Structure 1
Amino acid sequence: MTDLPADLPTDLPTDLPTEADVVICGGGPIGASTAHFLARTAPQLRVVVIDDAPADDTSHVTTYRYSGGSVRWTWSDPVKREMTAETADLVRSLLADGVDLAAIENSYHLLHTGEHIPALNISAAKLVAHLLEQARGAGVQVYSDTVVDGVRPEGSGHLVETSRGTIRAARVLVALGAANKRLFPHGGVDLEKRQLFVLDAPVPPEREGMPHTIVPVGDGFGYVFVKSVEGRLRVLVGQEDIVEDDDTSGAVDYWATLLDRGLATALPWLREAKTEQILWGVDIAQKKLVLDEPEPGLLVAGCGSAVRSSAWLGRTLAERLSEPLAG
């Protein structure tokens, strides 16, 4: 949860069209990737992206802005392995083309097993901004700071009601992350807060290549890694199931508790570190993939930690959205 929103272009369109073939509600990892793949594979379709992400995200529901941005692709689960490997391939191709993603090539070090698993760390905001810009360059219309108020069926299509007006589309994807629950409160999605501690620990040259270290603590684990935050390498710490934190209204500083419960025993060099900043966001619980079709042609997609699976999700959703329309 470390990425701040990227600077938006100043020449975005202002007048919402009345019709489109596909409307994508949400300009985060899933929406941006879907728009990117639709522009590549179905350029004949009129695609509109409505970016519901507020510039002042006081509820922190635009979780990718604050995500750790780690992508690993070695998993025992074959589906998870396929999803993350496809994203890693996309990231590598962008890096080979010179796209700045603030990338760090490292590995996951599982202290309890001794495994070192290849990984990449990237800026999620930079990835999303690049995918949206590529889609725009291919003709996709992107509307920022536009709130989606509702989606309802009409005839053979759907009406998307927004703060800029109403647009009719044959197919609609709702990919607003945690904000999906605002439009579809009975969709069976549970939310949880995720937060990262940005520490004042120095990052000397010998620490720049530090692996993403997974530390078992009690019934949970902590993770410690180095990431580029606002152009500086910083040490970040997150946790799962060490401290219960159900408060989704804001950051909670339980750094001292993490140390006392065993993190400092495993990694003594953290004992003297202090929290400089807490980066938090509200995400889909347990990093689950949720895909629903409440009405024909209306897809609702969400995924906890969506960045690492974004390429697979975008390609798959683009295929579903374009198949009935193309041809």
Structure 2
Amino acid sequence: MTDLPADLTAELLVEADVAICGAGPIGAATAYFLARMSPELRIVVLGDDPDDDPGHVSTYRYSGGSIRWTWADPVKREMTAETAEFVQGLIAEGVDLAAIENTYHLLHTGEHIPALNISATRLVSHLLERAADAGAQVIPGAVVEGVRPDGSGHLIETTRGTIRAERVLFALGAANARLFPQSEAELEKRQLFVLDLPVPPERERMPHTIVPVGEGFGYAFVKSVEGHLRVLVGQEDIVEDDDLSGPVDHWETLLESGLATALPWLRDAKVEQILWGVDIAEKKLVLDEPAPGLLLAGCGSSVRSSAWLGRTLAERLAA
């Protein structure tokens, strides 16, 4: 693999067999599996994950990080079960993912389903580090500005240089739409309310509680946020929120819709922080190939399916 200088400029052309645009859960996991599956390949990972993330498209940073692997849907069950087994293996090896073992408690059925909560940012960092150890070249701060065909491959124009690759994977999450507006992937905003509630020892093992409300559901759970255990609440299809430009504090509306009736201990809670991001609505793999060797991949809530996604895409890119 060609070593890239620190001062890579737009004039420099780097050759690769596979270029992965995006260093989130999908891109990082794909690089991880591909570097081990095909060590002979020259793999470049282009990451653009600034700390401020003005568009909030690095959605994994603001995700709940919960993985449950019991689903009626066989595809979701396969994706999450493989990822859970993979993550549990990392934890057994001593990888610190700020993991919390808990359960999903479905109030409407009384079921308690095994689950795991992890830090998505720690998982992504670990996958990228191991991919680099296996030979992949990770280029940080490379904003992809365009891609065009070049013979049997593709030229990727970035703010840090031009990359030529035979095969390219775009796994930029919601940002894929910026470069490929013809993509049919539907986008949506996801929000989590971080509450001011204390987390004493008896609440640390609180199950991830699912509450049906009207046509949707709310959920409350405990997660490590910036090194501290916090109570978080999210919702789907209770309060309509199509504003993709920023967070909307609809906490009171959410409580009044019926959530506080089912979980009255939330009534006096105050919102200290809103974690939000723009994500792909479909929670299964959305894969498109607009040109031979050019793949667009997306999946909402990709953390919980990251190992399955990475292995599946790596097998496609290695073929």
TM-score bin (small chain): over 0.9
Alignment-mate amino acid for residue 128 of structure 1: V
Instruction: Calculate the TM-score normalised by the size of structure 2.
Output: 0.96
SS of residue matched to 1:258: helix
1:314: which partner in 2? 310
Deviation at 1:14, TM superposition (A): 4.5
Structure 2 counterpart of 1:37, from 13, 27, 33: 33
Structure 2: how far apart are the matches of 1:140 and 1:14? 19
Structure 1 counterpart of 2:127, from 126, 131, 155: 131
Deviation at 1:285, TM superposition (A): 1.4
Question: Which runs of no fewer than 5 residues in structure 1 stay unpaired?
Answer: 1-10
Q: Say if 1:110 and 1:187 are closer, same or farther in 2 by CA, change over 3 A.
A: same
Q: How does 1:24-173 map to 2 (within 5 A)?
A: 24-173=20-169
Structure 2: how far apart are the matches of 1:128 and 1:137? 14
CA contact (8 A) 2:282 2:299 kept: no
Q: Say if 1:17 and 1:142 are closer, same or farther in 2 by CA, change over 3 A.
A: farther
SS of residue matched to 2:202: helix
1:190: which partner in 2? 186
Same amino acid, percent of matched pairs: 77
Structure 2: how far apart are the matches of 1:65 and 1:256? 25
1:8: which partner in 2? none
Deviation at 1:55, TM superposition (A): 2.7
Structure 1: how far apart are the matches of 2:51 and 2:119? 18
Residues 265-303 of structure 1, C-alpha deviations (whole Å, 9 max, x = no match): 101111111000001000011434210111111111000
Residues 242-275 of structure 1, C-alpha deviations (whole Å, 9 max, x = no match): 1000111111111111111111110111111100
CA contact (8 A) 1:51 1:144 kept: yes
Q: Say if 1:57 and 1:119 are closer, same or farther in 2 by CA, change over 3 A.
A: same
Q: Supply the RMSD in Å over aligned alpha carbons.
A: 1.3
> How many residue pairs end up in the alignment?
313
CA contact (8 A) 1:197 1:236 kept: yes
Instruction: Calculate the TM-score normalised by the size of structure 1.
Output: 0.94
Structure 1: how far apart are the matches of 2:54 and 2:153? 33
CA contact (8 A) 1:13 1:141 kept: no
Structure 2: how far apart are the matches of 1:227 and 1:14? 39
Structure 1: how far apart are the matches of 2:231 and 2:285? 29
Structure 2: how far apart are the matches of 1:104 and 1:258? 26
Structure 2: how far apart are the matches of 1:53 and 1:18? 21
